[in-house]
Each structure stands twice: as C-alpha cells, then as structure tokens.
Amino acid sequence: MDYILEVKNLKKSYGSLEAVKNVSFQVRRQSLFSFLGPNGAGKSTTINIISTLLSKDGGEVTLNGESGETYFRNKIGVVFQNNILDDNLTVKENLLYRGSLYINNKKGVLERYKELRSYLQFTEFENQKFKTLSGGQKRRAEIARALFSNPEILLLDEPTTGLDPETRKVVWKVIGDLRANKGMTIFLTTHYMEEASEADHVVIINKGEIVAEGTPSMLKEKYSKDRLKIVATDKEKLVELLNNLGRDFKKISDEYVIIVQNADETIKLLNCLKPFIKQFEVLKGSMDDVFIEVIGGNNHV
C-alpha cells in the first residue's frame, strides 16, 4: 500500500491537557483524507505538528517514509485554520514574498504567481491589502500561498468554514481539481459532513483519540441508519398498526419516522402499512448521523 503520510503514536500536551493522546493513521497517496472531530478534538494540533509548526511530545510523523523538517518543507502545503498572510501587504506582495522563499529567481516566482492567480481567480483583488479582503477572498489567497511550492500533499484546516455556499464551491472545485488532475494528496479537516462524505478515507478524533475510521460508506453502514418517513391517510390507524407491529417511531410535524435496517425490511413494512400511507420517503443514513453517533451528544466545549 502506498502511503504518503504516516502518523504513529502521536502525543502532544499543553501543560496538563493531553490534546493528542496516541494518534496513529495513514494517508494514501493521491487520496482525499478527511480528519473530523468536534471543537477541541485535537485536529489543528495534529495538523500543526505534521506541518512542523509545532513540536510533538512523542510519536513519529513520516512523509514518503522520511522524517525531518527540511525534508517536509517543499513537499507539504498548509492552509492553517487562521490566516497567516500579512494584513498590511497586498495579495500580490504577500505571495511574491512567500514565493521567494521557495523559488530562488524572480522570474520563476512571478510565473508561478500568475499561474496561481488564474487558478484561484484573484486578479480583481490582487492589489488589495490582505486585511481589506472578505473571508472567502482571504481563503483563496491562503490556498495560493500553500500551493506555491507545488506540494505533494496539501493540508487544509477547515478551509471552507464561514464561507458562503458559492465561495465554498469555488474552494471545493480547486480541491477536486488538485486531486483529480494534479495528483495531489489532500488532507482536510472540516465541520461540513457533506464535504467529508466525498473523502476516500475518514478519521474521526475526539478528545485527542481516534474514535472511528473508514471509508464514508463503511462508516455509514456501521453508525448510521436509514429512515422511513410516512405521511398518513389515517393517523390513528397507522399508529395502531405500528404499535401492533412493535415498531418504534417518532412523529415529526406531520410525518411518522421509523428506523429501518435495509431495503428488504423497508419494502415489507411499506406493504404492511400501505392502506394508511399518503406519501413516503426513505432517507439514507448520512455522515451527520455517523458523526453524532460516534461523538455522542456530550461534547460541548
């Protein structure tokens, strides 16, 4: 199996708080890897260690089997949770300066800058000071910064949080293109479950420990349930029949919601309830269900 990034028994504490306890995972080359968890789970701490911004207390991080800051430098691009570009410089000044840290001739830096400018479509605000940009424009500039060295792996810490749906789509399109056409490995943390459901592999972390991992479909199979929603022709009779069948249900607005295990069971149930059904809908389990099931409801930070 070809893994680009391997994290073994990673540990990090801040004083007495164990933010990352003993975390191990592997990221397959050219995959979209999604790292999920509630606020304070340890996601940014892990990303900051991988990107060599933060030191670890224990464990190992290897890229292509190698370790060490110098080796990682040009091979990892990171979009941190908080923007890091200089507020008082324009987008262009920021990126040309950052670019000169990777490419040591002016012409090369400018060429790469132009490539990224058209790729992330920021010509219209390239001469604006970073601090005057909107949230979505800032994220695009930060992604351009992270891509400057044309890294093998791009780490994105909540790249789409707080963006409007249209800007989220632009960012998501770039992520999709990097992966599909440029062969880049993408490591993503997000709180949007529909984004996570596109990943090849998902790791869920809670309180510094991995609590579940697998492909989205494996996780949905294990932790989520399909639901049958029914609008009744005769509510009383439907309820009576459900009680007779010993089926639990919830009434939400004018719908009766019943958990179902599989298609076979759903068809049988629909046949039984048929005389009292006005409308029905079967909702597939989602990554939202997985997240709630795995994390539980007692995680408010």
In whole angstroms, give the CA distance from residue 164 to residue 168.
6
**What one-letter code names the amino acid at 260?**
V
How far is CA 48 from each of CA 141, 214, 232, rounded to the nearest angstrom?
19, 23, 53
Q: How far is the CB of 214 from ligand ATP (least distance, A)?
A: 20
DSSP secondary structure of 151-201: -SEEEEESTTTT--HHHHHHHHHHHHHHHHHH--EEEEE-S-HHHHTT-SE
Which tokens in the block code for residue 40?
A: 């304070």
Residue 40 contact partner, candidates ligand ATP, Mg ion, none, CB within 5 to 8 A by sort of partner: ligand ATP
Binding residue (CB under 5 A) for Mg ion from 81, 150, 161, 167: 81
Among 34, 36, 37, 138, binds ligand ATP (CB under 6 A): 37
Residue closer to Mg ion (CB basis): 18 or 265: 18
x/- letters, 54..83, toward ligand ATP (CB under 6 A): ---------------------------x--
Task: Count the residues of the shown chain that bind Mg ion, applying the rule CB under 5 A.
Answer: 3
278 membership: H or E segment, kind and range: strand 277-283
Given Mg ion, ligand ATP, none, residue 101, with its beta carbon under 5 to 8 Å by kind, binds none
Q: Is 128 in the site for Mg ion (CB under 5 A)?
A: no
Residue nearest to Mg ion (CB): 44
> Minimum distance from CB of 75 to ligand ATP (Å)?
23
Task: Report how far residue 75's alpha carbon sits from residue 185's, in angstroms, rounded to the nearest whole number.
Answer: 11
At 79, is the secondary structure helix, strand, or coil? strand
Q: Which is nearer to Mg ion, 189 or 197 (CB)?
A: 189
Among 17, 267, 282, 283, binds ligand ATP (CB under 6 A): 17
> Which string of x and - marks every residue 233-272 that binds ligand ATP (by CB under 6 A)?
----------------------------------------
For residue 55, the Cα-to-chain-centroid distance in whole angstroms is: 24
Q: Distance from CA of residue 20 to its chain's centroid? A: 18
For residue 160, give the nearest of 174, 146, 178 by alpha carbon. 174
Both structure tokens of 14: 């801040």
Of the two residues 19 and 163, which places its CB atom closer to ligand ATP in the complex?
19
Binding flag, residue 44, Mg ion (CB under 5 A):
yes
Closest Cα to residue 7, out of 75, 68, 51, 63?
63
Is 92 within 8 Å of 120 (Cβ atoms)? Answer: no
Nearer residue to ligand ATP within complex by CB, 43 or 138: 43
Q: Which residues bind ligand ATP (CB under 6 A)?
A: 14, 17, 19, 37, 39-45, 81
